Structure 1
C-alpha cells in the first residue's frame, strides 16, 4: 500500500507566524503593509506547483528588507532548502552540471516541498489542512472526560464512537449530504480554486499577490 504523507496548511502558517513573532517583527507586520503582504506571500508559496516553488521563493525573497533576514533565513533553511556553497573549481563545475540537469542547487530542507505544498490538493478538491481530523480527536477526548481513562472505560467509548461513525457512513451511502461548510469558507475555497486553476508560471508575482489576499494568519 502506498501512503502519501501530507502536512497541514494551517500549521505551516502557524510555524511562520511564530517565527516572525520570535524575530520581533509583529509590530512591523501590523504597521508595514508591504511587509504584511510579503509575509502572506510566503504562505501563498504552498499554492504554487512544487516544480516552481524555488523559482517563486527566489522572486519573493528580494522583496524583503534587511530587517527580515532572520525570517527569510529560517524559511529558506526549513521550507525551501539552503543554497549549496561551491568553493573550488571542481565544485563549480558540479554546480554547472546540476543546473544543466535541472537540479536546483539547494540542500534538502527540513520539510520537503511535497509535505507542505497544497497545490495538487486544491486541484483535487481535497482539504488543505487536517483541522477536521484534530477536531474529531478533540471531540473524542471531550467525550472521554478524563486524561487517563481505565481500559474498560476507554474500550466502551471507542465502541460508541465506532457505532456513531458506522451510522454516519450508512447515511452517506443512502445519499444524505454532509453538514455544509459556512458560506464564508465555501466562498473562500471557490476563490482559491479559481486562482489555482488559472495558474501561470509566467506571472508568479501576481499569482502570489492574489493568493496572499485570500490567506489569513
Structure 2
C-alpha cells in the first residue's frame, strides 16, 4: 500500500538541485579518504546527540579511535555500537526486514533487552512535559506495516531522495522498536540514499538534522 504523501513542484526542484550537488560531492569524496572518515564520525555524533547522548565530537572521535574516554558507559557503548552499525549497514538490503533487525541488533546490543527484535508491547512518544505526542502502531501490526512499507519502497519509481524521506517518516510513525527508532530511521534513510548514490555513505546528513542551517 502506498504511504499517504504528495509530491510537490518544490520537492522536485529540490531533488534536481540536490542531485547536481551530489555529483560534485562524489568527486571530492573519491579523492579525500580523510574527509570520508571525518564525516562518518560526524554522522554518528549527530545521530546520537539527537537522542540526548552528551559526548562531544572530540570524545566520539577518540572512542572510535580506540582511546579511553571519561563518560557514561551507556553513552560510550552507544558510540561503539553506532560505529559498528554504520560500518556494516551499507552492505545490507534496505528492503529486507531481516537486515533491518540485524542493524538494530548492532545499534542496540548491550543496551536493550529487545535488541534485534520488533517490540511486543505498546509504546508512546512523550514531550518534555510528559505529554503523549505519538502512539506507535499496535505491536501485532508492526511486522505487516514494515513489510508493506518495504514492498512499496522496492517497487516505486519515485526519486530516491523522496522515497528515503517517506520511508524514514513511516518508520518513525510505526515505531517498530521499543528503543532506537530515531537512530534506525536515520540509518535506514542513509542506506536507501547510498544505494542510489554511494557518496551518501559518507555525507553526514544527520548533522543537518541536529544543527539545521
TM-score, length-scaled by structure 1: 0.31
TM-score, length-scaled by structure 2: 0.31
Which has the larger Rg? 1
